[in-house]
């Protein structure tokens, strides 16, 4: 029945508008549902906004706390690194000093070794001369005493030295 009225008023826009509004009020109750819907949406929006604000605040606090902890950890690691670098520098200096000392000792030992070898060679040469002189004296003494020196036993060492 309501649609028939609206159809009859198609030629009269003002009356058509009024009839459609009446129909809407009677069957749909749009205004009340719109108002209730707006209030519900507004309430939900307020709840969501409050929840989001709370979440953002918590996240900011968490970020600050974690950032501070991270900064402390980084600072600690940097201090440890600085300490280790100083220790490494000290060890490098100690190694350089030890290498320098070792090189000096090796050079000194080479000189001393060369001198010692020279001394040993001189001593051996001197001892060989003394042995020759003593042999000559023995031969002379044996000739003077009339002893045949050719029958005396000769040790292997004497044979090698002769």
Instruction: Using pLDDT thresholds of 50, 70 and 90, give the confidence band for residue 110.
Output: confident
pTM above 0.85, yes or no: no
Spell 61-84 as b/e; 16+ CB within 10 A means b. Answer: eeeeeeeeeeeeeeeeeeeeeeee
Separate counts of helices (H) and strands (E) for the chain: 4, 0
Range of the domain at 116: 2-161
Could you report the per-residue pLDDT of 44-96, keeping only the tens digit for each?
888 999 999 999 999 999 999 999 999 999 999 999 999 999 999 999 999 99
Tell me the torsion sign for CA atoms 13, 18, 24, 27. Answer: negative
Contact indicator for 107, 113 with CB cutoff of 8 Å: no
What's the domain count of the chain? 1
* pLDDT at residue 149 tops 60: no
């Amino acid at each position: 029945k309501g649609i028939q009225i609206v159809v009859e008023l198609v030629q009269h826009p003002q009356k058509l508008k009024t009839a459609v509004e009446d129909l809407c009020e009677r069957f749909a109750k749009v205004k009340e549902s719109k108002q209730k819907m707006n209030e519900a949406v507004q309430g939900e929006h307020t709840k969501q906004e409050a929840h989001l604000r709370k979440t953002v605040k918590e996240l900011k606090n968490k970020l600050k706390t974690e950032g501070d902890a991270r900064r402390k950890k980084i600072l600690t690691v940097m201090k440890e690194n600085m300490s280790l670098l100083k220790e490494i520098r000290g060890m490098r200096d100690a190694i350089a000093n030890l290498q320098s000392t070792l090189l000096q000792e090796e050079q000194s030992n080479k000189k001393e070794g060369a001198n010692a070898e020279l001394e040993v060679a001189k001593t051996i040469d001197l001892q060989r001369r003394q042995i020759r002189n003593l042999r000559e004296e023995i031969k002379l003494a044996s000739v003077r005493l009339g002893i045949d020196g050719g029958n005396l036993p000769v040790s292997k060492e004497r044979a090698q030295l002769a």
